[in-house]
Amino acid sequence: MAEEFPGWHGTTIIGVRKDGKVVVAGDGQVSLGPTVIKGTATKVRKLRPGGHDVIAGFAGSTADAFTLLERLEAKLEATPGQLQRACVELAKDWRTDKYLQKLEAMLIVTDGSALYVVTGAGDVLEPEHDVAAIGSGGNYALAAARALMDSELDAEAVARKAMGIAADICVYTNGNLTVEMI
């Protein structure tokens, strides 16, 4: 019987909206099975399609995520300043295009007012409680951030603290963060 190739694991991405600021933070770990391949990957990017700032964080296959980021950027250029419409169009393409259907990634995107999770199942979700998280440590980061939302901490501090908690629990998440704010 052939040995199954171990899957790529890793990544925790969180988006936090608080007091008029939105922060997207991601860890830097990429793992192959039980091995850390890289600890300093950048999984959160600032995009400027059509002069409008958008931050995107991705979890899943890196090549697939870059394909989705390029597609998102094209959708944003076609619909300047309309993040929701661009995300819905991307999700529709992702769900119906045979090539895109095979992509294994998820996105958290924001333009500073809206915050969305975009999935290959055709979902464009606006999270409750102003917190979204994806990836292997996403549930840990989400729970931690939701618990911290009523504190005096600002959006960046909530995101950093939640990511630290996720990194302490999830073996596929580390503390090397990329943090972007809008």
Q: Are 148 and 77 in contact (CB under 8 A)?
A: no
Tell me if residue 11 is catalytic.
Answer: yes
**Contacts of residue 93, Cβ cutoff 8 Å, sequence gap at least 6:** 71, 100
Q: Indicate which residue of 11, 12, 110, 173 is catalytic.
A: 11
Residues taking part in catalysis: 11
